[in-house]
Structure 1
Amino acid sequence: MRVFQNNGLSRGFRESCARERKSQNFALELAGFLDTRFSAPHILAPVLAGEPEAFYTNGDDEHLQKLWAREQGRPSDDLEQILLAQIEHHRTDVFYNLDPMRYDSAFVRKLPGCVKTTLCWRAAPSGNLDLTGYDLVVCNFPSILDDWRRKGCKAEYFFPGHDPVMDTYANARRDDLDLIFVGGFSRHHVNRSLALQAAASTPGIRARFHLEDSRLTRLANILPFMPGLGAYRHPPEIRVIRAGPLYGRDLYAALARTRIVLNGAVDMAGADRGNMRCFEATGCGAVLLTDAGRYPEGFVDGETVVTYSSPNQIPGVIKRLVEDASWANSVAKAGCAMVRDRYSKERQWAKFQGLV
C-alpha cells in the first residue's frame, strides 16, 4: 500500500518554529519536522518508521513544499499544484488527509488516477465544508461521524495512536508542578473556560496554563477596554498563571513534569470525549483530570483517568490528587499502560488498513 499522508500546521506551531527554518533540503526539513513530534499521534506508523512506500508532507507549509518543488525542477508558488504533483510522483494508492478544511471535495476531484482510496480526518466545527468526495471521513467522536453521515459522507471510527517517543518522557517523570493545562482558549471553549477558572482558583497549588489564544482573545488582552471583547479576555486568576502554547516534544516534557493535566472538551463535542490531550497526558504518565462524558475504550473514571461533572468539583479533586500521592500514581500508571497498549501505533495502523 502506497499511502500519502497530508497534514496542516496550526497557527501557533507555525509561529513557534518560524525562526528555526534553516534547511534548504526537503528530506532534511521534513525529518526535522517529524522529530518535533507535532501531531505525532495522528501520523501513521509507516511514516514515522521512514518506510519508502509512505509519504508525508504538510501541504500548507510554503517553505517545505517549495523545497520539494525546486528539487524536482518544477518550481511553483501554487501549494495545491505542488501537492498534486507530489501525489502523482509518489504513485499514491491511498490518500489520507488531515487538513480537509483546505483540501476538500474539490481537491479530491483533481487527484491523479493512481489514487484508489481517499480518507480524511475531521473532528471539529466545519460549517458548510463538503467532504462527500472522500471515500471515508474518520475521527473518534461518534456524534460527529453521525453528522457527516447526515451530510452524505461515509464515516467510520478511527483513533489517535500512542507516540512511542512519549515513553522516554513518561520514564523520566517528576512533579515540578501540581497542575498544568495546555490548549486553546476561544469562543468554542466556554465550558473549558469555566473549568480553567475553577482550577486556577484552587488555593495552594503550583499551576501553569499554556494557552493558544484565538485572535479575538489576543486582541482583548492587549486592548482590555475595547467594547464587545470582554468575554474573550482571560479572567484575572488565569492571567497570573498563563504561559505560551506548547507543541510536540515541548508539550511532552511539560506534561511529564506535572502531576495533573487538566482537560476540557470543546463545546461542539456534545457528550463525546477523546481529544488529543487525553492521549498525550496519559501517554506521558500524568494523571488526566477531565470532564465526564463518553470516552474511548479504556478511559475509565477512577482507574485510568479522573473525571469531574461540574467545574465546582475541580478544586476538591485537585486537592485529593495532590494529597493522596498513592492514588494519583496508581491512576497515572494505569492510564499510561492502557494508552500505550490499546492505542499503540501498531493497532492504529492495523485499523487504518482495515478501513482502507
Structure 2
Amino acid sequence: MKIAILDTYYPAFLTAQYEKTPSLKALPYLPQRERLLDECFGTSDFYSRHLNALGWDAQDLVVNCLPLQEAWAKENKIAYSRLALHLPHRFFRLPLIGRSLASLPGLVEIAVAQIKKTRPDVLYCQDLSFFPPKMLRSLREHVGLIVGQIACPLPPDDFLREYDLILTSFPHFVPRLRAQGIASEYFRIGFDTRVLEKLGHVEKDIPASFVGGISRHHGKAVPTLEYLARNTPIQFFGYGAGSLDSSSPILARHHGEVWGLNMYRALARSGITLNRHINVAENNANNMRLYEATGVGTLLLTDRKDNLGELFEVGKEIVVYSTQEEAAELVRYYIDHPDEAIAIASAGQNRTLSEHTYAHRMKELAPILERHYRSKK
C-alpha cells in the first residue's frame, strides 16, 4: 500500500534551519527534504522509514516548508499562487495553525498537487487543520483513505468530519470523536532509536532540566516551573520564554529554543528532566516527552496521570509528582542520590526501547490502516 504522511513543522524550527544554512533552499526537493528529516524534528521520518521496512510505499510531505514546497512545484512544473511564498519572512515566524495556515493558497495548492500526483492509498495527516474541509473533500477521488492523527486541542468540527479515521494518543478523545460519528482509535506515540545513533555519547552535565514549550496550552504548568526555578537548580530549554513576565525566575536560567537533535541532546545531557502535559490531556499521559526522555536514558519526572501505569512502572522506570512541592523535593532527592537516579533512568530506557519505539508503533499502525482501508473499499 502507498501512504503519504503529511506534516507541518514549527515555523521557528524551519526559520532556524534556513538561517543556519542559507544554501539549503537552493537544493533540489529530495536532498532538501532529507536535510530537514535528518534533524529529527517532531516525528521526522520515524513513520515512513519503518512503514517502508514493513513493505509499504511511504513518503513524507512537509507541507508548510516554503522553500521545500517551492522546489517540488518547480521540478514538477506545477502552477501555484505565489502570494504565500513571498510574504515578509517574519510572517512565517508566527505559529500558523488551523484556518490561518489553510488560508495560504500557495502552500495548499502545492500540497494538493503532490497528493494528486502520488495518489496514495492512505493520506495520513499529522496536522488536521492544514486542509480546509472543502479541499480535503475534493481529494477523495485521488485517495483511498483519509486519516488524521491528533494530540492537541481539536480543530473546529468541520475540519474533523472529512476524515475517515482519526487516531489519537489521548484515550479520552476516542469516545468523544466516536460520539460525533467519527471513526477513532487510540494510538500511542513513541521514540526512534536512530536518535541514539545520531547523538552518540552525551556527557550528563545538567543536573535537572525542563525541555519544552511555554504557551497558553501549558498555562497551568508555569507556577510549577517558577517554583522549581526558585527551589532547585533546574535549567530551562525551549520556546515561549518571551511570553513570561519579566520578573519570572525562569528567565535567568532559560537557554533558548532547542529543536530536533538539539532538543534530544538537551534531554540526554540531563540527569533528571521534568515533564508536564498540556491542559487538554486532562488525566491522561500521552506526550512525546515520555518516550523522548526515557529513550535517551534520562530520569523522567512527570506529572501524575491515571494511565501512566499502562506505559511505565512508576517508581522503577519513571517517577511522578502531584504538586510543585513534591516535584521540587524529588528533583533535590535524585540529584543527591545519583545512583538511584541512574538505575531508574536505565530501567525507563529499557522499557522504551523494548516496547515504545516507532518500529513497534508502525507494526501496530499498519493493520489498523489496512483494516479501515478494506472496510471503506
Tell me, yes or no, whether TM beats 0.5: yes
- Residues 160 and 348 in structure 1, CA contact (< 8 A), matched pair in contact too: yes
Structure 2 CA distance for partners of 1:234 and 1:96, relative to 1, 3 Å:
farther
Partner of 2:239: 212
Greater CA deviation, 308-317 or 36-45?
36-45
Partner of 1:113: 141
Aligned-partner Cα distance in 1 for 2:138–2:124: 15
SS in 1 for 2:59: strand
Partner of 2:296: 284
1:289 shift after superposition: 0.6
Partner of 1:34: 37
Partner of 2:76: 72
Aligned-partner Cα distance in 2 for 1:314–1:169: 31
- Residues 190 and 292 in structure 2, CA contact (< 8 A), matched pair in contact too: no
- Residues 264 and 291 in structure 1, CA contact (< 8 A), matched pair in contact too: yes
Counterpart pick for 1:319 among 312, 319, 332: 332
1:58 equivalent in alignment to 2:57: no
User: 5 Å matches for 1:118-267?
Assistant: 118-129=146-157, 130-168=159-197, 172-203=201-232, 205=233, 207-213=234-240, 218=242, 232-233=244-245, 235-267=247-279
Aligned-partner Cα distance in 2 for 1:236–1:82: 43
- Residues 38 and 44 in structure 2, CA contact (< 8 A), matched pair in contact too: no
Unaligned runs of 5+ in 2: 82-105, 370-377
One-letter amino acid matched to 1:119: V
For residues 188-215 of structure 1, what are the alpha-carbon distances to aligned partners after superposition, in whole Å with 9 as ceiling and x for unaligned? 2222112211221224x3x3211311xx
Partner of 1:103: 131
Aligned-partner Cα distance in 1 for 2:45–2:179: 25
Q: Report the aligned-residue RMSD.
A: 2.2
Larger proportion of helix: 2
TM-score scaled by length of structure 1: 0.88
Greater CA deviation, 88-97 or 164-173?
164-173
One-letter amino acid matched to 1:306: V
Unaligned runs of 5+ in 1: 221-231
Structure 2 CA distance for partners of 1:48 and 1:175, relative to 1, 3 Å:
farther
Partner of 1:4: 4
Instruction: Give aligned-pair identity as a percent.
Output: 26
Aligned-partner Cα distance in 1 for 2:156–2:52: 36
Aligned-partner Cα distance in 2 for 1:257–1:64: 32
Structure 2 CA distance for partners of 1:35 and 1:309, relative to 1, 3 Å:
same
1:48 shift after superposition: 8.2
